[in-house]
Amino acid sequence: MARPSTAQALKKTLDRILSRAGVGSRTEARKWVAEGRVAVNGKTIRSADAWADPARDRITFDGKPLQAKRKIYLLLYKPAGYLTTYKDPQGRPTVYDLLKDVDEWIFPAGRLDQDTSGLLLMTNDTQFGDFVTSPESHVPKTYLVKASTVLTEDQLQQLREGVELADSPTRPAQVTRVRDSAKCTFFEITITEGRNRQVRRMVEALGAKTLKLVRTRIGLVGIGDLQIGKWRELSAAEVKALSPRQRILRQV
């Protein structure tokens, strides 16, 4: 379906409207629309690509009007071994197993690999999620890395300046050596992109492997002394610091 003209700019597709209202994921919403559970101004609509204006049109789900849901912003300390997906066909644990006492539907604002632990933001605010994850936002993300070899200063400098990955070179990063053991280097890196397995691929580009990866910070929001596997709500100031137009985020 064609995108709406400027005059229709406030309109959104039905799957997006349902997901923004916190009813469920866009995939679920598409299924529900196709099942005829959604009506616009009293008329059942079966195409999730149909456009509607949530401010003007009366949109119902199972006959009940959509209500603006309370916005939720959670910080979860994801342990390694958990997937950042809703369900896993192989039955592996997912982050939702750690959020069983949260009734509302929430989604991760950016993913972490199964083997990565650390700060994961979960929300029902799609605008917030889009901002935190969009490559254009350049929201800095900080990781602690245990590399499989002792890295030279030259190798750390390569990470700072950008290394060549299969897709394209990485943007400049902040890199600080934390300490070396006999066989490994522990370092902190802050990147302003969010490419798939980016930190692991950057370390691989140096000829080493990532033995441990922990995300400690997104923008100004840190994991603090939260226990692994636990979650807390973000404060209003933290939500604001991760919202559009907070230039203070641009640390790198």
d(CA 67, CA 85): 26
> Other C-beta atoms within 10 Å of 168: how many?
10
d(CA 99, CA 2): 38
Closest contact distance (angstroms) between CB of 171 and ligand URA is: 14
- What is the contact mask toward ligand URA in residues 60 to 99, using x (rule: CB under 6 A)? ----------------------------------------
Query: Per CB under 6 A, which region of 2-10, 161-169, 197-205, 239-247 contacts ligand URA?
Result: 197-205
Q: Which is nearer to ligand URA, 53 or 113 (CB)?
A: 113
Query: Per CB under 6 A, which region of 33-41, 54-62, 156-164, 193-201 contacts ligand URA?
Result: 193-201
Alpha helix (H) residue ranges in the chain: 14-20, 26-34, 126-133, 153-161, 198-205, 236-241
116 scored as a contact of ligand URA (CB under 6 A)? yes
131: helix, coil or strand? helix
Q: Which is nearer to ligand URA, 38 or 144 (CB)?
A: 144
- Nearest by Cα to 78 from 231, 232, 248, 239: 231
Q: Is 154 a catalytic residue?
A: no
171 scored as a contact of ligand URA (CB under 6 A)? no
Instruction: Determine contact, residues 175/133, Cβ cutoff 8 Å.
Output: no
Q: Which is nearer to ligand URA, 60 or 133 (CB)?
A: 133
193 scored as a contact of ligand URA (CB under 6 A)? no
Q: Which one of 200, 222, 229, 251 is in contact with ligand URA (CB under 6 A)?
A: 200
Q: Which residue, chain included where needed, has tokens 């990866």?
A: 213
Residues 208-227 binding ligand URA (CB under 6 A) are 213
146 CB-near residues (< 8 Å, 6+ apart): 184, 185, 186, 210, 211, 212, 213
d(CA 24, CA 212): 33
Q: Which is nearer to ligand URA, 17 or 213 (CB)?
A: 213
Q: Please tell me the count of residues contacting ligand URA according to CB under 6 A.
A: 8
Closest contact distance (angstroms) between CB of 112 and ligand URA is: 4
Q: Calculate the CA 80 to chain-centre distance.
A: 16
- The catalytically annotated residue of 53, 57, 113, 180 is 113
Q: Which residues belong to the active site?
A: 113
Binding site for ligand URA (CB under 6 A): 112-113, 116, 197-200, 213
